[in-house]
């Protein structure tokens, strides 16, 4: 399957989180709610979001963990026990494994981290026997709804890969493109961020950005348009792109921002949320099913937004990406930097 054929299956672009929820609800009405497992579900704020998503008709939830603790929290939140499946798993690590195992045998469409440690969930995801691993790396993809920006903005990787190599950045781009497709962006524009819009030998990341741009031009990265190095302002505002002289068709119109380290991504993500009031939805991409790793600091709405995004991504992975040929051949060619 080439990328153009894939793009023909992608619905219209989603402009904001209000439309994101509308699209997820329409999907649920058409095909039924998605099945969500929660890894160690005895967490009040996670259960609140699960309750919201269940009442909206987006999901059917399977809750793993200590049954008595989960039921006590559900009672305090007026959650009807009959609307949920509660699996009594006493050990926290075992609860994470069971949540992932159910997804791996297609008893669930996505996994949400509850009170379980992130490391326990990711270990289960990468487990060769019960996990959801593919040939690709896992990367964290954030989607931001910014009131002053005309469209949803995607950024990666703010929470998974510490200092990705050039080869890993190719896969991070591919994972972000999958999310872009899931929210209706057929051929996303990808900006590789840097502190300057020109290549500077003293700034190695600007060289990597230029390499990724050339790889895109030559078809080694497919399904999107990649350019860089670009500064943040040149990537997302036309005025800055013109003022700074960024000679790029992508300048001012980026759909996806790719950062060079987890520090960059984390700071940019929190700055958007704290200072720009951006809505945030995030998940881990690269596994066979969406994995929602939410922070305890994330708001109830942010957790719900992440679930709605997961619903759309799960459907996209099932109906478009997982059809032959394999995912690894859709967005990137076989690339090796070994000599």
Q: What is the pLDDT of residues 181-229, one digit of tens each?
A: 999 999 999 999 999 989 999 999 999 999 999 999 999 999 999 999 9
Cα three-residue angle 156-200-190, rounded to 5 degrees: 25
Phi, psi of 233 (to 5 degrees): -65, -40
pLDDT score recorded for residue 55: 97
What are the pLDDT digits (tens) for 321-336?
665 444 444 444 454 4
Output the six-digit token pair for 211: 């390499």
pLDDT score recorded for residue 243: 59
Of residues 327, 285, 324, 306, the one with CA closest to residue 139: 285
CB 241 within 8 A of CB 251: yes
Q: Is the pLDDT of residue 237 over 70?
A: yes
pLDDT score recorded for residue 323: 53
Q: What is the mean pLDDT of the chain?
A: 90
Domain ranges of the chain: 3-188+255-329
pLDDT score recorded for residue 247: 72
Q: Is the pLDDT of residue 4 over 80?
A: no
pLDDT band at 117 (very low <50, low <70, confident <90, very high): very high
pLDDT band at 250 (very low <50, low <70, confident <90, very high): confident
pLDDT score recorded for residue 328: 47
Q: Is the pLDDT of residue 96 over 70?
A: yes
pLDDT score recorded for residue 9: 59
pTM: 0.91
What are the pLDDT digits (tens) for 44-93?
999 999 999 999 999 999 999 999 999 999 999 999 999 999 999 999 99
pLDDT score recorded for residue 246: 55
Own/partner pairs, 64-72, CB within 8 angstroms, 24+ separation: 64/37, 64/38, 64/39, 64/40, 64/89, 64/95, 64/96, 64/98, 64/99, 64/114, 65/38, 65/39, 65/40, 65/41, 65/89, 65/92, 65/95, 65/114, 65/115, 66/42, 66/90, 69/42, 70/41, 70/42
Specify whether domain 3-188+255-329 bears CATH 3.40.50.300: no
What are the pLDDT digits (tens) for 280-309?
999 999 999 999 998 888 899 999 999 999
Q: Which residue has the higher pLDDT, 78 or 11?
A: 78
Distance CA 210, CA 214 (A): 6
CB 136 within 8 A of CB 174: yes
318: DSSP letter: I
């Amino acid at each position: 399957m080439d990328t153009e054929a894939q793009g023909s299956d992608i619905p219209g672009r989603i402009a904001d989180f209000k439309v994101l929820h509308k699209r997820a609800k329409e999907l649920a009405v058409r095909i039924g709610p998605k099945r969500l497992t929660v890894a160690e579900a005895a967490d009040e704020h996670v259960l609140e979001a699960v309750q919201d998503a269940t009442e909206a008709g987006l999901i059917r939830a399977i809750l793993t963990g200590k049954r008595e603790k989960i039921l006590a929290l559900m009672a305090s939140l007026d959650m009807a026990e009959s609307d949920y499946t509660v699996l009594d798993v006493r050990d926290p690590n075992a609860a994470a494994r069971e949540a992932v195992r159910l997804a791996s045998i297609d008893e669930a469409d996505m996994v949400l981290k509850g009170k379980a440690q992130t490391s326990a969930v990711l270990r289960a995801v990468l487990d060769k026997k019960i996990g959801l691993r593919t040939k690709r790396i896992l990367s964290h993809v954030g989607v931001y709804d910014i009131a002053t920006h005309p469209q949803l903005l995607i950024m990666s990787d703010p929470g998974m890969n510490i200092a990705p190599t050039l080869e890993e950045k190719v896969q991070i781009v591919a994972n972000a493109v999958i999310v872009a497709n899931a929210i209706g962006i057929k051929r996303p524009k990808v900006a590789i961020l840097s502190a300057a819009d020109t290549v500077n030998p003293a700034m190695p990341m600007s060289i990597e950005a230029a390499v990724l741009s050339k790889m895109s031009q030559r078809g080694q990265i497919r399904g999107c348009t990649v350019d860089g190095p670009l500064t943040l302002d040149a990537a997302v505002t036309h005025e800055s792109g013109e003022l700074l002289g960024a000679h790029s068709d992508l300048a001012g119109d980026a759909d996806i921002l790719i950062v060079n380290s987890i520090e960059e991504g984390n700071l940019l993500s929190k700055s958007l949320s704290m200072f720009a009031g951006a809505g945030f939805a995030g998940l881990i991409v690269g596994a066979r099913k969406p994995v929602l790793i939410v922070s305890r600091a994330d708001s109830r709405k942010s957790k719900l937004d992440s679930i709605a995004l997961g619903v759309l991504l799960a459907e996209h992975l099932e109906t478009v990406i997982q059809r032959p040929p394999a995912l690894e051949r859709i967005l990137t060619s076989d690339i090796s930097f070994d000599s």
